[in-house]
Structure 1
């Protein structure tokens, strides 16, 4: 049995131990809370459910054990919360997934005009323990003006988890979440505030948010980044990191204005003097190995990627771009690069099929050289 088969994310995040912990928090906050009954209801059928359905299942169990009066239930939820996540950290502190059902409960029971203020206040408290980026989206869709106004206030909140929620919750292509119905460019004023945040957890979300927007509005993203550069509100090195992370999809596409913005010429004066594969016959699990020599005819800053054309089930190919290296070469000098890329037999993002593949060098957005190879499958 492989490690992948042994480990179950849903069982790791939602299990009896975590349910006991959650029920204990509610019992401490409300003397009438039936912790044992809640735990039994949560565990009944939990093992048969997938991850997202477990969140809904636990939220439904809460509905049976909290007051029908929503404001009273919301107050109990807030009182049951443990202390906020460590405020001295600045990154990679997503929180405890067992609090995700609390956001689901708020959406199911409090996404209405009479309860809007109570619900937003509750989500703000929960997000300091676990990100409410998914739950807030229901309120953005249902009450865009009021919710975005509240998010404007949250964008300067003292807690960085609340500030991150402003960006992450309004991302147009947030993974694992519903697509928002608002104009995807509408949250940019929020990002104008958040881009100068001192915490990487927030600025990473800002960069990911811009990367989402760039897929449909590349020029707007470049305009925004130019404006932030002129404003000089963010540290230069951090803003450079935001730029590169926000533009990664456009870079892979070879988007010429983006490459120019990042300081790469679209017409580098170079020669590929050597490009060779270690072998042109490979099987799943093997490593595709290649080496390349690049000679510069003038001082050049180069963004070197490699593109693998994978064979699909129908015999056509689809390109996948991978980062190799950003380098600077002086006139007349040669850079030598090597790369090993394992062709995983059980990758989650693609399936390997036999046939004639190819690997190409993409430099500053343009294909410069290509080598074919054959993939065999037993």
Structure 2
């Protein structure tokens, strides 16, 4: 039986470890590449992804000078050329350089914050240092934010992106930072007008994080950016939609209105099942019909209320269609696969409910019984 895909094994393995060791051996003739590789690989296979980053950083610290000022020239010489500056998006870099940021944290957080921040600005041009910068935001908050103010105008878009990504309130895999929601906003004010999608996506993701706690703060900021007129209208429209996606999914009326959707528009909606009964392993197929004002924009989603073990119910929202009521009506169809044996979400037989959401409001619903998977 073929084994499943392993992200940790793809990103951190013997080949990658040997590559990193070779860079340091080329930078310093005294670097023990074979010893470094052996020490890493003795423990690497048993560790998860983030643990592998920490391991490689710790082993690297044992093979470089203890003092960061002495180690820094070796680290700089070991760095490969920066990522292609002519690109503008999806150029995250090679994960094998993530441990370099953790090494800087180990050696420089307490004793050398200035040098550490300089090194992170260089390493982030090879791989994003969004996780490594956060200990400095916690330990040297004012100093790090001051440096980030300069980074926000860097010629390198990877450095500019680090300003937004590193200060995100809910950065995936990142440690929390003692920043209020408003502290990074002056930085985002600068970055929202960036010409590079890699940066503006980070800004939008940052706002989406904020929206989980303070939706009005996000809406007010987007209005101020619209009024400032510093970003291209098409790009700001994309950023706005991306920043508000969480609020839209939650049916927030202010977010809907900002995107041009009227939650309270007069509307008639019907919802019908195409196939009944519905089985685990099959699909939920349904049709809907909307009648409203001709030309009205509509954002159509659907919400499934799933039975859970123990009698609990959980709801999930799914996208259906963003369209216009040409002629005052539209018909939509959907086939939602009900996968059996999924590792992330196990379906349970029982009564389920389907809701049709238009511009964030529930406009129609129906109940159906989800039956066990058919034999054969």
After TM superposition, the score normalised by the length of structure 1 is 0.95
Q: Secondary structure at the match of 1:196?
A: coil
Q: What do residues 194-232 of structure 1 show as CA deviations (whole Å, max 9, x unaligned)?
A: 111111111111111000001111111000000000111
Q: What do residues 86-123 of structure 1 show as CA deviations (whole Å, max 9, x unaligned)?
A: 111111111101011111111122101x3001100111
Instruction: Tell me the equivalent position of 2:102.
Output: 104
Cα distance, 1:348 vs. partner?
Answer: 5.2
Does 1:241 find its partner at 2:238? yes
Instruction: Tell me the equivalent position of 1:177.
Output: 174
Pick one of 163, 167, 170 that aligns with 2:164.
167
Does 1:374 find its partner at 2:372? no
Does 1:35 find its partner at 2:33? yes
Of residues 249-258 and 207-216 in structure 1, the stretch that sits farther from structure 2 once superposed is 249-258
Instruction: Tell me the equivalent position of 1:313.
Output: 309
Q: What do residues 101-156 of structure 1 show as CA deviations (whole Å, max 9, x unaligned)?
A: 111111122101x3001100111111111110001000001111000111111111
Q: Which consecutive residues of structure 1, in runs of 5 or more, have no partner in the other structure?
A: none
Aligned residues: 373
Give matches, 1:134-153, under 5 Å: 134-153=131-150
Cα distance, 1:299 vs. partner?
Answer: 4.1
Cα distance, 1:32 vs. partner?
Answer: 1.0
Report if the CA contact (8 A) 1:25-1:81 is conserved. Answer: yes
Report if the CA contact (8 A) 1:156-1:163 is conserved. Answer: yes
Q: What do residues 243-272 of structure 1 show as CA deviations (whole Å, max 9, x unaligned)?
A: 101001111111111111111112111212
Cα distance, 1:69 vs. partner?
Answer: 1.6
CA distance in structure 2 between the aligned counterparts of 1:283 and 1:259, rounded to whole angstroms: 34
Instruction: Tell me the equivalent position of 1:8.
Output: 6
Q: Secondary structure at the match of 1:314?
A: helix
Q: CA RMSD in A?
A: 1.4
CA distance in structure 1 between the aligned counterparts of 2:283 and 2:188, rounded to whole angstroms: 41
Does 1:357 find its partner at 2:352? yes
Q: Secondary structure at the match of 1:271?
A: strand
Q: Which consecutive residues of structure 2, in runs of 5 or more, have no partner in the other structure?
A: none
CA distance in structure 2 between the aligned counterparts of 1:230 and 1:237, rounded to whole angstroms: 14
Cα distance, 1:284 vs. partner?
Answer: 3.0
CA distance in structure 2 between the aligned counterparts of 1:110 and 1:55, rounded to whole angstroms: 17
Cα distance, 1:349 vs. partner?
Answer: 4.3
CA distance in structure 2 between the aligned counterparts of 1:298 and 1:98, rounded to whole angstroms: 55
Report if the CA contact (8 A) 2:66-2:107 is conserved. Answer: no
Q: What do residues 261-306 of structure 1 show as CA deviations (whole Å, max 9, x unaligned)?
A: 111112111212x421122433333222111111114542211111
Instruction: Tell me the equivalent position of 1:59.
Output: 57
Pick one of 120, 129, 133 that aligns with 2:130.
133
Q: Secondary structure at the match of 1:373?
A: strand
Structure 1 residues 103, 346: closer, same or farther in 2, change over 3 A?
farther
Report if the CA contact (8 A) 1:280-1:372 is conserved. Answer: no
Pick one of 315, 324, 327 that aligns with 2:320.
324
Cα distance, 1:6 vs. partner?
Answer: 2.5
Structure 1 residues 37, 343: closer, same or farther in 2, change over 3 A?
same
CA distance in structure 2 between the aligned counterparts of 1:373 and 1:295, rounded to whole angstroms: 24
Of residues 251-260 and 119-128 in structure 1, the stretch that sits farther from structure 2 once superposed is 251-260
Report if the CA contact (8 A) 2:95-2:127 is conserved. Answer: yes
Structure 1 residues 149, 346: closer, same or farther in 2, change over 3 A?
farther
Instruction: Tell me the equivalent position of 2:216.
Output: 219
Q: Secondary structure at the match of 1:291?
A: strand
Report if the CA contact (8 A) 1:269-1:300 is conserved. Answer: no
Q: Secondary structure at the match of 2:309?
A: coil
Cα distance, 1:354 vs. partner?
Answer: 1.7
Q: Which runs of 4+ in 1 moved over 6 A?
A: none
